[in-house]
Amino acid sequence: MAVTAVHQFAQCITCHAWSADQSSWLKTNGKRCMFFKRYVWNLEASEWVPTLVILRLNRAALCVQWSPKENKFAVGSGAKTTCICYYEQDNNWWVSKLIRKKHNSSVTSVSWHPDNVLLATTSTDGKCRVFSTFIKGVDAKDSKKGTSPDTKFGELIVQLDLSSSWTFGVKWSPSGNTLAYVGHNSMIYFVDDVGPSPLAQNVVFRDLPLRDVLFVSERKVIGVGFDCNPMVFAADERGIWSFVRYLGERKAVSSGSRYGSQFSEAFVKFYGQSKQGLNNDAVETSRTRGTVHENCINCILPLGEHGKMIRRFSTSGLDGRIAVWDLENEQDLFE
């Protein structure tokens, strides 16, 4: 088994985060959750001191992530708005610029591209979007090399309409060349060449929906969600993504019971068949759920140095547990 530690911290954990030295803070369904959403904290001597963040929101903040260079962070909200926050030294506070009127519903997750400028979001309107967050005076000019030099803050780079349900858990691959996100319809989506003409694929499965994903390498992804067990997905030499196995299992899925993977041009036909029960590529599983977690896993984060390959990660779930996973013995993930 790949799990090295399991800790019961609370009755319910909605998400967790790690500091650089691997000590963690977490937010639960208690009153402290509200406090963490409103402030950035700095460690001064031995005391954590809050710094004011001006979000300008009239609805709850639902997700947050620091940018790769840690000079900005993004906050998705129930106000159909994404806040891009940056520090103002003169006033000793974090101010925000808002990406407004781009989402039709709540923003469920955000993910920074390695270039520190592009930001991907998912929403309960069923769409995944990529925006430019270039802020003059905060970002260097050469950081726009992956986008058009005329791209402005908040400009919509691409909108992906692959899902017919709520979408969650968007992540970029280590190189930033591939984007992955999940739908509440038990599908995971992979998008290459993000831009005007993206190349998209989907993998459908019969188990419960996923909530979050993590690239452990450029061609391997681990998904977690309502099924309580991490799932491994991989791309072959042709770049076609498919389900491989559940983490900890050694037996690969046979070709006769393999999860379906199709290019986006066949998406409508494929999804129509699955709705009518004609999709024979999906798997009917009979394994035992909940070997580590006993409720939905809603967060997965890398541990250690974040290079091209991630060999340790942590998960947290609605069962109040945080589990640490080690992939050193999972050699097929790095082949």
Condensed to tens digits (0 to 9), the pLDDT of residues 204-261 reads: 988 899 999 999 999 999 999 998 889 999 999 999 999 998 886 644 444 433 444 4
pLDDT for position 320: 83
Provide the token pair at 299: 């967060």
pLDDT for position 261: 46
Condensed to tens digits (0 to 9), the pLDDT of residues 171-204 reads: 999 999 999 999 999 999 999 988 888 899 999 9
Q: Which residues of 233-265 are buried (b: 16+ CB within 10 A; e: fewer)?
A: bbbeeeeebbbbbbbbeeeebeeeebbbbbebe
For the chain, the distance separating the N- and C-terminal CA atoms, rounded to the nearest angstrom, is 19
Is residue 7 over pLDDT 90? no
> What backbone phi and psi angles, to 5 degrees, belong to 118?
-75, 140
Helices then strands, counting H and E runs in the chain, come out as: 2, 25
pLDDT for position 332: 67
Is residue 145 over pLDDT 70? no
Domain locations in the chain as residue ranges = 10-141+149-192, 205-249+290-334
Condensed to tens digits (0 to 9), the pLDDT of residues 149-169 reads: 668 999 999 999 998 899 999
Average pLDDT, the chain: 79
Provide the token pair at 279: 């999709």
Structure pTM? 0.80
Cα–Cα distance measured from residue 85 to residue 42, given in angstroms and rounded to the nearest whole number: 16
CATH topology for 10-141+149-192 is: Methylamine Dehydrogenase; Chain H (2.130.10)
Provide the token pair at 85: 């926050």
Condensed to tens digits (0 to 9), the pLDDT of residues 59-69 reads: 888 888 889 89
Question: Strands across the sheet with 210-217, in order?
Answer: 210-217, 220-225, 231-235, 241-246
Residues sharing a CB contact under 8 Å with residue 276, sequence separation 6 or more, in sequence order? none
